[in-house]
Amino acid sequence: MKDVAKTVRVVAAAERAETIGPHGQHLVPCITKETCGAEGISAAMVNMAPGKVAKAHYHAHSETIVVCLRGRAATLIGPELTPHVHGPGEFLYVPEGVVHVAVNLSDTEDLVAVDIRTDPLFSDDLVLVPEYDSAAADIAVRLRRELAVT
């Protein structure tokens, strides 16, 4: 990673490369230590395909804010994978160290969100917890049926 001096910068998501995070999410990191020298924060666009369920994970040291722009999501939180449903214009806060799983509730529409973290490298402290993945997939199926999001 190259050293970038901390500077004010406009970063267009359309000009950044999409990556796939360790949790299986399609991300476009925009504000990071690499792009503008950020030291305590980062932000990325998240693009979730219809029916997508991310891998269960937590961020060891980073707080996270997710802002849904398009579509409806459920974020399954904690060891019980409690669903928190959110849609356009709604913010979701996840403290550091808390297991969570993002779910696109639609089987036909993409979900677009902004993910903001207190990790300037964006996914540096992400820890996968695969023991939750099967239960998360089951909960996602149930939520789609109950909420009838197409």
pLDDT at 2: 64
Measured in whole angstroms, the distance separating CA 97 from the mean position of its chain's CA atoms is 15
Widest distance between CA atoms in the chain? 49
Question: Could you tell me which residues come within 8 angstroms of residue 38 by beta carbon, excluding any fewer than 6 positions away?
Answer: 6, 31, 32, 120
Q: What is the CA radius of gyration of the chain?
A: 15
Beta bridge partners of 45: 28, 114
pLDDT digits (tens, 9 = 90+) for 16-49: 999 999 999 999 999 999 999 999 999 999 999 9
Please name the residues in contact with 104: beta carbons below 8 A apart, sequence gap of 6 or more: 48, 49, 50, 51, 52, 53, 71, 72, 73, 110, 111
Which stretches of the chain score pLDDT less than 70?
A: 1-2, 148-150
Are 147 and 106 spatial neighbours (Cβ–Cβ below 8 Å)?
no
User: What integer pLDDT is reported at residue 123 of this predicted model?
Assistant: 84
Q: Which helix (H) or strand (E) holds 149?
A: none
Q: What is the pLDDT of residue 72?
A: 95
Among 30, 28, 26, 25, CA closest to 41: 30
Q: Please give the Cα distance from 99 to 85 (Å, whole number).
A: 16
